[in-house]
Structure 1
Amino acid sequence: MILFHSPLSPFVRKVMIVLHETGQLERVTVQGVNISPLNGDEQLNRDNPIGKIPALRLDDGSVLHDSRVICEYLDSQHVGLPLIPREGSARWRRLTLAAQADAIMDAAVATRYETFLRPVDKKWDGWVTAQGEKIRRGLASLEHEHLAEIISGFDIAAIGVACALGYLDLRQPEFDWRGEYPGLAAWYAEVSQRASMLATGPAA
């Protein structure tokens, strides 16, 4: 399999962590791409018409894209404990929490594009503020309503939250989320030392 990859994408990192946690890293060849909303990659565009990463080309030539689809596929390909519950209410609960983590990452990436890529005279401060509010609402919900669920195991929901927090550290170091969400901070301090997290960080 071939994974279209950029080391700074939190969504790619999520897939890489799943590969590590499920023991499938050696099954995948990583193909680096350097893309932005304004500049694509020709090979990636052929495999994923939307031109976004991650995308996973399977051995039969078919291509999966969107980190949620790729992670679910990879979780179906190993014999260990599943990272996504196979059925029942637990499945939908964990996928919902994972989707919330994805939404935090989406807002953080949108903020990055607005502040880094858009010309200064066209920047929209209200947009940045709105994305920041989404991030804070999402983190507050995880801290005050779902912390026990997040810390209960390192599954797809926890992986997503860890990737979101790591991306905030990378792109918004001025945001003191640790001060605002001490429960998440304590948990992240622990899980960030997992081998899969250390191996997939931006500096790894």
Structure 2
Amino acid sequence: MQLIFSPASPYARKVHACLVETGQKPDVEFISVKTAPSAVAAEARAANPTGRIPALVRSEGPAIYDSRVITRYLDARAKAGLYPESRLWEVLTLEATADGILDSALSVVYETRFRPPEHQSEDWITAQWDKVAHAVKAVNDRWMSHLAGPVDMGQIALGCALGYLDFRLDSRGWRKGNDALDDWFAVFSERECMRETAPHD
């Protein structure tokens, strides 16, 4: 298998972390690409018609894409139990919350990194960060008992989302008022799948 990815992409990090957690990293060749909203890498376009990463190229079938599709595939392939049937909807909801945090965080990053200053919208940035802040607070207030359970893909996705906030938007201070989640993240960040996949440009 080949993983089309970027080491700075939080969605690619989710897949990379899943590979580490399930012991499948040796089965994958990593193809690192540089991509941006207005400059799609040829390898990404060949694997995914939208040009987005990550994409997983398989020998037994067509390439698959969207991080949640890939992680479900890898979990099934390894029979790893990262999507346990007994709490599947909670895991999927937590993963969707983490991806929602990433969607809005990336909107902020794209607005400030890829648009000229005269075309940037402070109202848009504020609205997107407000979504991030509300989602982080909801996890802190409602999900800590779930985060204390056996590791699953929801936890890995959340770890990658919070790691991205530290990586690109640290000055916005997601930890303020979210002490329980901050404590959890400090411990979870030491997990091998998190240490080995730390983002970088």
Give the drift of 1:153.
2.6
Aligned: 1:8 with 2:8:
yes
- Paired position in structure 1 for 2:128: 131
Q: Which amino acid aligns with 1:196?
A: C
Q: State how 1:4-83 maps to structure 2 within 5 Å.
A: 4-80=4-80, 82-83=81-82
1:164-199 superposed Cα distances (whole Å, 9 cap, x missing partner): 110000111112222321111100110101111110
Give the drift of 1:203.
4.5
Give the drift of 1:43.
2.4
1:23-74 superposed Cα distances (whole Å, 9 cap, x missing partner): 0000100001100000011222122110000000011351000000000000
Taking the aligned partners of 1:125 and 1:15, their CA distance within structure 2 comes to 32
Give the drift of 1:84.
0.6
Match of 1:179 among 176, 181, 186: 176
Give the drift of 1:79.
3.7
- Paired position in structure 2 for 1:104: 101
Aligned-pair identity in percent equals 38
- Paired position in structure 1 for 2:145: 148
**Conservation of the 8 A alpha-carbon contact between 1:3 and 1:56:** yes
- Paired position in structure 1 for 2:162: 165
- Paired position in structure 1 for 2:83: 84
1:131-168 superposed Cα distances (whole Å, 9 cap, x missing partner): 01100110011000111112323211101110111000
Paired residues, number: 201
TM-score by length of 2: 0.96
Q: Which amino acid aligns with 1:84?
A: Y
**Conservation of the 8 A alpha-carbon contact between 2:8 and 2:200:** no
**Conservation of the 8 A alpha-carbon contact between 1:97 and 1:157:** yes
**Conservation of the 8 A alpha-carbon contact between 2:83 and 2:152:** yes
TM-score by length of 1: 0.95
Taking the aligned partners of 2:149 and 2:128, their CA distance within structure 1 comes to 28
Runs (5+) with no aligned partner, structure 1 = none
- Paired position in structure 1 for 2:186: 189
Taking the aligned partners of 1:46 and 1:190, their CA distance within structure 2 comes to 38
Taking the aligned partners of 2:11 and 2:64, their CA distance within structure 1 comes to 14
- Distance verdict in 2 for CA 1:72–1:79, change over 3 Å: closer
Taking the aligned partners of 1:136 and 1:151, their CA distance within structure 2 comes to 21
Q: Which amino acid aligns with 1:180?
A: G
Runs of 4+ in 1 over 3 A off after TM superposition: none
Across the aligned residues of Structure 1 and Structure 2, the Cα RMSD in angstroms comes to 1.3
Taking the aligned partners of 1:50 and 1:183, their CA distance within structure 2 comes to 38
**Conservation of the 8 A alpha-carbon contact between 1:55 and 1:65:** yes
Taking the aligned partners of 1:151 and 1:182, their CA distance within structure 2 comes to 15
1:89-137 superposed Cα distances (whole Å, 9 cap, x missing partner): x111210111011000111011100011111111011110010110011
Taking the aligned partners of 1:28 and 1:171, their CA distance within structure 2 comes to 27
SS in 1 for 2:172: coil
